[in-house]
Each structure stands twice: as C-alpha cells, then as structure tokens.
Chains A and B, each alone.
Chain A
Amino acid sequence: MESISKDKFQLAEKTTNAETIVRPSLTYWQDAWRRLRTNKMAMTGLVILILLSVLAIFAPMFSKFDYETQYLKDIDLKPSWAHFFGTDDFGRDLWTRVWWGTRISLFIGLVAALIDLIVGVLYGGISAYFGGKVDSVMQRIIEIIYSIPLLLLAIILIVFLGPGMKSIIIAYALTGWVGMARLVRGQLLLVKEQEFVLAARTLGAKPARIILQHLIPNVIGLVIVQITFIVPSAIFFESFLSFIGVGIRPPMASLGNLINDGAQYMRYQPHRIIFPTIVFSLILLSFNVLGDGLRDALDPKMRK
C-alpha cells in the first residue's frame, strides 16, 4: 500500500458559525414590518397618513395667512395661486384652515387614542391579572358602561360643560376605553393559560419577566391595531358633533366644522366642501386600510 504524503492534506478551517443554514432570526417587529411592506394597500395608507401629517404640521407655518384673520375684501374666492383652496365667506384662507383643521382633528384622534390606551390597558390588565372577584366586579362595571350610548352621553356632556376640544376629548375618553379594556383582558386571559407561560414559570421566571417577555408582546399587536381604529373613530366623532352643532367652534377650524360650513355653501361654492371632505376621507380610509394591514402583519397566528 502506497503511503500518502502528508502535504496532500489540509486542516479544515474551523468555523465558529456552524448553523449558517438557518436564516437569520427576525424579531417580532422585523417580521411584522416585512409582512406589512408587501401589503400595497396598507403601505399606501401609511404614506398618505405621513404626507397628511407633514402637511398638517408645516402647511400652516409656511402659509401667508392664519386660520382666523378675516380679509373682507377677499371673500368667497375660488381656488387660485394665492389661495390654493379658495377662501370662505369671511375671507379666511381655506388652505390654512383645512390644514389647521387636520391638525386639530388628528390631535383629537391621537389624544383620544392615548387616553384609551392608558386607561384601557391598565383596566384590562388589572382585571385579567388579579382574576377572580376583582375581575368579576370590574367586568360588571364594564358591561354597564358599554351599553351607555357614547354619542348621547357626549352630547349632554358637551351641552352642559360647554363646547370645545377638552369636552370632546373627555366625552370620548369616558366611554371609549371600554373596548380597549375588553380586548386587552380577553387576550391576556387567553395568553396567561398557554403552555409557554407555564413553561416559563416552571423554569423559574419571575412575574416581571413573564409580564415583560411573554404577556406584553402577545397583547401589543392587538393594541396597536385597535389604536388605528380608535383614531379615525374619534375624528369621525368630532366631525359628527360639529355637524349637529356641538363640535369645535369657529374661528378655530376642525375638519368637522369645515365640512359642516361647506355643506351649507356647496351649491354655489363646491370647493368649500370638497377639500376638507377629501382630506377627511383620506384620513379615515388610510387608517382603515393601515389597520387591516397591521392586523394581518401583527397577528402571530398568521405567521407561517
């Protein structure tokens, strides 16, 4: 048997990375973003929302006019280069007013969502965490609040507290959090009983770790989706109130009172209702498609 010279052999290179065949593991958020990005509708909604927010923030700043000064020489102008959206019957520039209104409407939506988020998550979380009698009492309270018609309560509150942004937000917050609380509680109860939580507990994980690592990540997706539906519903709520006369009062602008004003003049000056309605509808539509997209992207059960 012929002997083989040693120089024909070579030491294999040592790899530290033995499992390169496994794809890089993605975090929950990377994974969700990857899925959301492929959803054309949802991405369009997201882009439109960003655009509208940018306009709402910057358009009034760079406009030559402000939302309340009346130029009585320039009343009822059609859209032109000086006034992109025309002017109203007091000569106020509608371009500025529409973006101011968007700002106010978005602000109301976001604050309402924030309050719902804080109150709803705390209430639902406490209810689910303690369970038993606490849960049962807290749920009875929720069932009663849930059946109080939100709109009526809001109307009487605003009539008696006086109209304005604060009253609208209070009225919405008083009953709006219930949906969020129910959602959070339901999901927490479901997750709490699942095997991976039991496994974590058996392995000696402390309650703080279980809450932070297992419970919150499983609820947060649903909460975010819910927020994308709360914001437009609060914006719609304000507009509805404006239309029946208890919303934001002029000279302050909101999409609701601009649409309401526009409806009265639509016969001769259609531009007065067209522009605020387009912005309003785009906001509602974008939040809705984004919410649908997020629900698909964030739902762990959809993961393959």
Chain B
Amino acid sequence: MLKYVLRRFVYMLITLWVIITATFFLMKLLPGNPFGEVAAKLPPENLKLLKAQYGLDKPEWQQYLQYLGNVLQGDLGVSYQFPTRSVVSVIKQSFPASLELGIESLIIAIIIGLALGIIAALKHGKWQDNTAMFIALVGIAVPSFVIAPLFSLYIGNKWGILPPGLWEGPEHRILPAVALAFGTIAILARMMRASMLEVASLDYIKTAKSKGLSTSKVVTGHMFRNAILPVVTILGPIAVGVITGTLVIEKVFVIPGLGYQFVSSITTLDYTMITGLTIFYAAILIVVMFLTDIAYGFIDPRIRMSGRR
C-alpha cells in the first residue's frame, strides 16, 4: 500500500511540473515585450534596467528555474491588467465561494443521484425507473450552460421564487448548486442503477432474501455496500467535472468566485492571471485525483494490487 501511495505521489508531482513548465513556455511564446506599449518609448538603457529588475536579462533556463522556484514558494505572480493585485490575493479572496458552491453541489448530486439510481434499480422496468432514467438523460443531453440560464430566468426572474444571481444568504446557494449538480446527478444515477442491477442478480442477495431479511435490510446491508464500489471509482473525474463546471455556473449567476475571476481574466487576456489560476486549478484537480486514487486503494484491494485503474 505504501508503495502504491508513493508512486501515485510521484506521478502527482511530475504532472504538476509538466503543467508549470507548459505555462512557462507558453508565456514565452507570446509576441511583443512584457512591458507593453510604454516600453517602446523608453530609452534602451532604461529598458535594460527594467529587464534586469524582472530578471529578463538572464538566459531562459535561469528564468525558468526562477519561475519554478517562485511557483513552489506560492508566488504565482501579479496580474497583468491590474498590477496592484497578486494572483494569490485573488485566489484567497474568491476561492472560498467556489469551494462552498462545489461542495454543496457535490452533496446534492450524490444524494439525489444515488437515490434516483437505487429507486430505478429496485423498480426496474416500472414507471419510477423510466422517470429516473429520463431525468438522467436530460442531465446528459442538456448542458449546464443551458440549464443554469434557464433556472436563473424562470425560477429567479419570472417566478421570483429564488434570487436569480449573486451570493449572499443561503437562498442564493440553492439555484447555482442544483444547476451545477444536474450533470453529475445524471452520471451517478445511471451508474448506480447499472451497478445495483448487477449486484441484485448475485447469489448472496438470493441468500439474504431467502433467509428472510426484509427488503430494506437487503438493500442497505448488502446491495448498497457492494453496488457503491464501482461508483466510488468515478468520484475523482466527477469532482473534476464539478470544479470546471463552476466556471460556467459562476458566470451565469454572477458569483464572486474563482471561476468568475478565471473567465473574466480570459476575456480581458490577463495572461499572468490565466497562467496563475491555471496552475492553482491544476494543483487542486491533481490533488483531488490523487486522493481519490488512494481512496480506491483502501476500499478495493484489487486496485492497489494491480497498481493501476
């Protein structure tokens, strides 16, 4: 087990390094000079001084090492558009809202998704099954960037049930979290249903039923525990999906989170902000993948024996 964790950890570090390196070289690819229009009017000596101040007179490999060192120390640079704002301060300010949105949506998705999947499997072929699978299909076919504006317009504006945007009281949480959860609900429901149906045909379920256990006991004690295993294995990708989904949701509901910052930095071509936030997002996603990998290793010994999914 320790060997497995160590190997995963090394992969995580390599992946992070690849991302940081990629962003560095992409920055170097940009045309023009990093000081913008003003620099063109400067006398050459001043430009030289300016470059020396930012370390741009050194050879590229030294710049690269310095960049790597800065990132490792948690210095992601300063915004290109607003030189008074550092990337890290923006993250500190806006990440909590995104994190909260993501966690709330994940909880909603897991509860509703698993419930739909279990109901569909227990009522296999009946109307409950069809309804649940219809909801799941809608969740797959209608993307969050359609569902979210629809929610905001109808539930928020036209019917006035819940606020159509912003991020203040608890009532502002419901619409964005549900809109974000929709796609995840669909995936979880489909997977849980298939998994439950598979488990239901196994011998130990027959044994449990024939020794007179009540349906609820069979479901909670035997079926659920075994059916949930394959579902756990996709929690990593699902978490990744939820985190990237926040980009859309925060834009639609005007939530002052990191996703909103990221999207607006893309529109204003704030290069340092984009790369800094990309590295931060990548680090989170990679850590989440790492943690879920370790989690499967604990839950299902077969995975850590073979070493790969």
A residues near B (Cβ < 8 Å) are 139, 143-144, 147-149, 151-153, 155-157, 159-160, 236, 239-240, 243-246, 259-260, 263, 266-267, 273, 277, 280-282, 284-285, 288
Contacts and interface: CB of A to CB of B under 8 A. Distances in A.
A143 B266 contact: no
A277 B22 CA distance: 35
Contact of A157 (B26, B149, B247, B286): B26
B92 to A, nearest CB: 20
Contacts, number: 101
Contacts of B263: 244-245
B145 A143 contact: no
A285 B146 contact: no
B282 A260 contact: no
B140 A284 contact: yes
Given A239-B145, A259-B145, A152 B11 contact: no
A178 to B, nearest CB: 12
A144 B14 contact: yes
**Interface-centre pick from A143, A149, A159 (highest chain B CB count, 10 A):** A149
B281 A143 contact: no
B266 A149 contact: no
Given A147-B289, A149-B282, A160 B29 contact: yes
A143 B8 CA distance: 10
Given A240-B248, A245-B266, A267-B153, A139 B308 contact: yes
Interface string B242-272: 0010011001100000000001001101010
Contacts of A282: 141
A147 B142 CA distance: 27
Contacts of A147: 11-12, 15, 286, 289
A136 B140 CA distance: 36
Given A159-B269, A266-B153, A281-B141, 4 more contacts: A160-B26, A245-B267, A273-B146, A282-B141
28 contacts: A139-B308, A147-B12, A147-B15, A148-B282, A149-B240, A149-B281, A152-B281, A155-B266, A155-B278, A156-B275, A156-B278, A159-B271, A160-B27, A160-B30, A239-B143, A240-B143, A240-B244, A244-B247, A245-B266, A259-B146, A263-B146, A263-B252, A266-B150, A266-B153, A267-B157, A273-B149, A284-B141, A285-B140
A143 B11 contact: yes
B285 interface: yes
- Please provide the 6 A-B residue pairs with the shortest distance between their CB atoms, ordered closest to farther: A285-B141, A281-B141, A263-B149, A160-B26, A243-B145, A149-B285
Given A240-B143, A281-B141, A156 B22 contact: yes
Contacts of B142: 277, 281
B18 interface: yes
B226 to A, nearest CB: 21
A19 B140 CA distance: 50
Given A147-B286, A147-B289, A149-B240, A280 B143 contact: yes
A243 B252 CA distance: 10
B18 A148 contact: yes
A24 B251 CA distance: 60
Nearest to B248: A243
Interface string B5-24: 00000011011001100110
Contacts of A285: 137, 140-141
B270 to A, nearest CB: 10
B274 interface: yes
Contacts of B282: 148-149, 152
Contact of B146 (A139, A152, A155, A277): A277
**Interface-centre pick from A152, A159, A246, A260 (highest chain B CB count, 10 A):** A152
Contacts of A284: 140-141, 143
Contacts of A148: 15, 18-19, 282
B285 A152 contact: yes
B151 to A, nearest CB: 12
Contacts of B248: 240, 243-244
**Interface-centre pick from B11, B27, B141 (highest chain A CB count, 10 A):** B141
A237 to B, nearest CB: 11
Nearest to B26: A160
Contact of A144 (B11, B26, B150, B247): B11
A243 B259 CA distance: 13
Contact of A159 (B15, B146, B266, B289): B266
Contact of B244 (A149, A245, A277): A149
Contacts of B18: 144, 148
B222 to A, nearest CB: 26
A260 B145 contact: yes
Contacts of B141: 281-282, 284-285, 288
Nearest to A260: B145
A275 B149 CA distance: 15
Interface string B278-295: 100110011001000000
B61 to A, nearest CB: 20
Contacts of A281: 141-142, 146
Nearest to A283: B141
A18 to B, nearest CB: 42
A244 B269 CA distance: 12
Contacts of B22: 153, 156
